Chains A and B, each alone.
Chain A
């Protein structure tokens, strides 16, 4: 079993829909990252969380440390949100990140 599991693996939705991507992990962590990878390959760091909730524009990320679970929400989704979203965790005392398999999101106009 992977240390970081994401669901769903693929998600297709219509423009305007509310999107939720889930991430569960099995180790104690010092931080959880949500990353966005566009078709060209470049990766953008969206959020780094260790507790609670963060919001940036239409994106919201939450984390529940006790349940070892995080969600990424996109409100009023748009075709330009189409990308692969990756959850990654940094274990306590570690430097490196452990990555989930990614969620491929497609927003149709």
Chain B
């Protein structure tokens, strides 16, 4: 079945570090991928829609210069948290669906738990 691979699964780093998270669709192509953030015991919050070959669409309140998204190929989107601070500590997760077929479910990565010290 369709698989989305997200890497790394966990990051612990110092304040001021930039952290890159990768989201890959392993056996399908995805022109669109989604990036979410989730705080403990809360629901998923959409951060941005990543579009292959064009700029990402950010949700209101999400700083595009803070959360850089690159979707350079049909199977890979990256989210870079620039100059991360403790308040950026959260669970980040991506999703994608097969753009070659209609009416497809979203497939989610396993998420990245980011801890900024």
Contact = CB atoms under 8 A, between A and B. Distances in A.
Interface of A: 31, 33, 35, 40-45, 48, 50, 86, 88, 95-97, 99-102
Contact-residue size bin, chain B (C-beta under 8 Å from the other chain): 20 to 34
A4 to B, nearest CB: 9
A59 B23 CA distance: 29
A33 B111 contact: no
Interface of B: 32, 34, 38, 42-44, 46, 49, 91, 93, 95, 103-111, 113
Contact of B103 (A31, A45, A86): A31
A102 B40 CA distance: 12
Contacts of B91: 41
Contacts of A102: 43
- Main secondary structure on chain A at its contact with chain B? strand
A42 B46 contact: no
Contacts of A101: 42-43
B49 A99 contact: no
Contacts of A40: 110
B108 A44 contact: yes
B46 to A, nearest CB: 6
B30 to A, nearest CB: 11
B46 A41 contact: no
Given A48-B105, A95-B32, A42 B110 contact: yes
Contacts of A86: 43-44
